[in-house]
Structure 1
Amino acid sequence: MILITGGAGFIGGNFVHHWFERRAKLGLPAEPVVVFDKLTYAGNPATIQSHIDSGQATLVHADITDRDAVRQALQQYRPRAVLHFAAESHVDRSIHGPGEFIHTNMVGTFTLLEEVRAYWAGAESPLDAAAKAAFRFLHVSTDEVYGSLGDDDAAFSETTAYAPNSPYSASKAGSDHLVRAYHHTYGLPTLTTNCSNNYGPYHFPEKLIPLMILNALDGKPLPVYGDGLNIRDWLFVRDHCEAICQVLEKGTLGEVYNVGGINEIKNIDVVTTICRKLDALRPRADGQPYESQITYVTDRPGHDRRYAIDPTKIQRDIGWSPAETFESGIDKTVRWYLENTAWIDTVRSGAYRDWINTNYAGRAA
């Protein structure tokens, strides 16, 4: 049994699917998972409903800042590993309301670490010596903790100094430091991964790629911040999930592994690629290209210019490399959104629409 915080969210939900598919492919038993999720606007049980229905996954609806709930889940299910995906993760939301990010990402991670430490090595720990030795706490983080790169700067490595530039990235940096401290101070068997921008199925439609796909199909403007030349390293979410599986199995305790897609692409090129895919797969009724919907809007404050991950360490020490190129991954992603309108309808709630209005209102073309 493993416990996954945030397992009904984008990356966590994809991980649940990947976990069972991978084990079946390798001929391994379908080791069950407990999904511990607050089910905020971006946490959707429909993402993992098939595994809940089959009994492979158990959903615990609770907040990682609720110490009693965390303690009860650990004692009841006795996981051999805790994978910590749960986080507030959208930069723009953190600019409009940073408090929730500090509370979830830092206080929540602290609460989780405290309860996991007691479960792993406390006086009332249910684990025997062998289980304690095998136990792992894997913390999933972001490349945004490293700040911004210039066009000619070397990509982020595990030794790059932290320089977060948004409330979101600062809160994730704080959680990273807590995990490091609990390993070095208490010996907690931790692993940390810092990933580049993920994309793929089940992505909440506030983020760039799903927002562009759905706005295009709805005939709405495709809002591109600033000059559109900000660069991100794009990582297909299932490649990320495989990296996490391999780090869990083979990672050295206390170490950090950067997970990148080796796909540095300008934001505007991401948008035009999506437009071309849609032109081919779902042409507009009027015959016009989707690129005609692109609208440049006021940039967000403190917008980092470039992110890029150097994955040398995880390739060398773990043996992981991304399987998808951006071209293959974006094709799978666009097709998934075209084919899964029922899931999309479940997440396009009033809260989502209110957020879109809050973020884009006043950003004149």
Structure 2
Amino acid sequence: MNYFNFISFLIAFLGFQILAIGSIRIKNVLTLITTFLILSALNFLPLAFFYILNLQINVIYFIFSLLAQSIIITQFIEKTSIKIILVYSIFQALLIYPFYSFLFLLFLKIFSIYQSDHFTFIFLVALYSSISSLSVSQFIGPRIGRFTKDGRPMAIPGNNIIFIYFGSLTFIFSIINFFQEFDPHWLQFVFSNFSLSILASSLSSIFIAKKIDPLILISSLFSFMIFTVASNLISPPYVVLALTFIISFINIYIQNKVEIKFLFDDPLFLTVPVAISLISLIIIFSLISGFGVLFIFIISTGYIWLSNLIIIKLINKFSSLRYHPNQEEIGSDLYEIGYEVNPKIFKDF
């Protein structure tokens, strides 16, 4: 591997983790470093299972993305438990996702834009997860969070860690899944351009907000996912820099000018970046493959929206869900469990 590209990878990966950990409000530097090291190790742990068990990487990616989606979505529910997360995952895997996959692939074949298994799989999971998160947030309502007595939101360390871990894990698997059989130099390509994405997002954040905004993490991730999937449009590399800057600029402009306040531990923080990224992706694919993609997107969105409504109704039968009210102090199960196990560490959050 070219050492320049390897250094780019280290900068991108370390920057990604540091920005994520930096959003966790802590005072203890040792806790910060420990959390960073644990997350870095966890991100590559599933790769060990991939080699040991000799499984197809898309199977592992599907399992983790499904679990991540279930955890994220069930955070909208008061008193989230392992039981609720597992029940949601089972309903998704057995009842809804197979039918959605069949519908999606059927329309792709009808419109003759079925190009590769890798591309289709990534787009299928990304579309399903993002729209599911958005639809469930609309069904259940208020944002999840831990609030002070005067109604101000507080960060929830446990939720932060979950988003960072599964977000970066999904990124790693989706990139590997797409590139491992197409280009022997995919590793150099991915990490070099991801470095450019972080740089572009940082520049746009400084330009608008006069500071490094936590949203650059989200902007970098979603922007780069778009340009990686549409890889035939990102040569030479400086095009990535320009396009990422534009999308990051829009994301951060909306956040600062329209005054949409995102909590990093709030599932609703995905709304604007996901919406902008999906719209950009649909436009790109429509220009490449025709506007049948737009029709597929509309049909898929309606189907996912309806399926999640059904899932919520079914879960309610098994778990007796209680939806939390708005602006009320709600404890995080993860935080409370962590505090009971090790009060010295969690008291700093």
- Normalising by structure 2, what TM-score? 0.28
- Greater helix share, structure number: 2
- Greater strand share, structure number: 1
